[in-house]
Amino acid sequence: MTSHNVDYQKILNQIGQEFADKPRSGKVASYIPELAKVPADKYGMHLYDLNGNNYCFGDSNERFSIQSISKVFTLSLAMKVVGDQLWNRVGVEPSGDPFNSLSQLENDSGIPRNPYINAGAMVVADVLVSNFTNPKAALLAFLHEITGDTSIDFDPVVAASERSEGYRNYAMVNYLKSFGNIENSVEDVLDFYFHQCSISMSCRDLSNAFIIFANDGKVMGSDREFLTGRQVKRINALMQTCGFYDEAGEFSFEVGLPGKSGVGGGIVAVHPERFAVTVWSPPLNPKGNSALGMASLERLTTLTGFSIF
Ligand code: DON
- Reported as a single tens digit per residue, the pLDDT across 27-42 is 999 999 999 999 999 9
Residue 103 labeled ligand binder: no
Could you tell me if 66 and 121 are in contact, meaning their C-beta atoms sit under 8 angstroms apart?
Answer: no
Q: pLDDT grade, residue 24 (50/70/90)?
A: confident
Q: Give a yes or no: residue 56 inside a domain.
A: yes
Mean pLDDT is lowest, of 2-16, 266-280, 281-295, for 2-16
**Burial category of 277 from C-beta neighbours within 10 Å (exposed 0-12, middle 13-18, buried 19 and up):** buried
Q: How far apart are CA 199 and CA 156, in angstroms?
A: 9
Distance CA 115, CA 93 (A): 9
Q: How many angstroms does the Cα of residue 223 sit away from the middle of ligand 1?
A: 33
193 a known binding residue? yes
CA 27 from centroid of its chain's CA atoms: 19
State the distance from the centre of ligand 1 to the C-alpha of 32, rounded, in angstroms. 9
CA angle in degrees (0–180, nearest 5) for 198-152-220: 125
Q: Is residue 74 part of a domain?
A: yes
Angle at 286 between CA 210 and CA 291, to 5 degrees: 50
Residues of the domain holding 293: 8-304
pLDDT at 4: 62
Q: Is the whole-model pTM more than 0.95?
A: yes
162 carries a ligand binding annotation: yes
What's the CA-to-centroid distance between 36 and ligand 1, angstroms? 14
| Statement: residue 23 has pLDDT above 90 | no
Phi, psi angles (nearest 5°) of residue 271 = -105, 105
Tell me the pLDDT tens digit for each residue of 197-243.
999 999 999 999 999 999 999 999 898 999 999 999 999 999 999 99
* Residue 2 maps to a domain: no
| Residue 2 pLDDT > 60 | no
Percent of the residues in the chain that have a pLDDT greater than 70, as a whole number: 99
43 is in an annotated binding site: no
User: What's the first-to-final CA gap in the chain, in angstroms?
Assistant: 18
Find the residues whose C-beta lies inside 6 A of ligand 1.
67-68, 99-100, 118, 162, 169, 197, 261-263, 288-289
Whether 202 maps to a domain, the answer reads yes
- Contacts of 225-228 with CB under 8 Å at 24 or more apart are 226/76, 226/80, 226/142, 226/145, 226/146, 227/76, 227/79, 227/80
Q: Which atom of ligand 1 is nearest to the CA of 288?
A: 12
Measure 11 CA to ligand 1 centroid, in angstroms: 30
pLDDT given for residue 1 in this prediction: 46
Ligand 1: residue of 118, 247, 250, 260 to mutate (most ligand atoms within 8 A of CB) is 118
Task: Confirm whether 210 is domain-assigned.
Answer: yes
Question: CATH number for the domain including 141?
Answer: 3.40.710.10
Residues contacting residue 111 through CB under 8 Å, at least 6 positions apart:
89, 90, 91, 105, 179, 181
Please report whether residue 161 resides in a domain: yes
Q: pLDDT tens for residues 144-196? A: 999 999 999 999 999 999 999 999 999 999 999 999 999 999 999 999 999 99
Task: Give yes or no for a contact between 42 and 7, defined as CB atoms under 8 angstroms apart.
Answer: no
68 marked as part of a ligand binding site:
yes
Nearest CA to ligand 1 atom 11: 262
Examine residue 139 and state whether it is found in any structural domain, yes or no. Answer: yes
- Nearest CA owner, ligand 1 atom 7: 68
- Do residues 69 and 206 touch, judged by C-beta distance below 8 A? yes
Above 0.95 for ipTM, yes or no?
A: yes
Residue 176 forms part of a structural domain: yes
Can you give the pLDDT at residue 121? 98
Domains held by the chain: number: 1
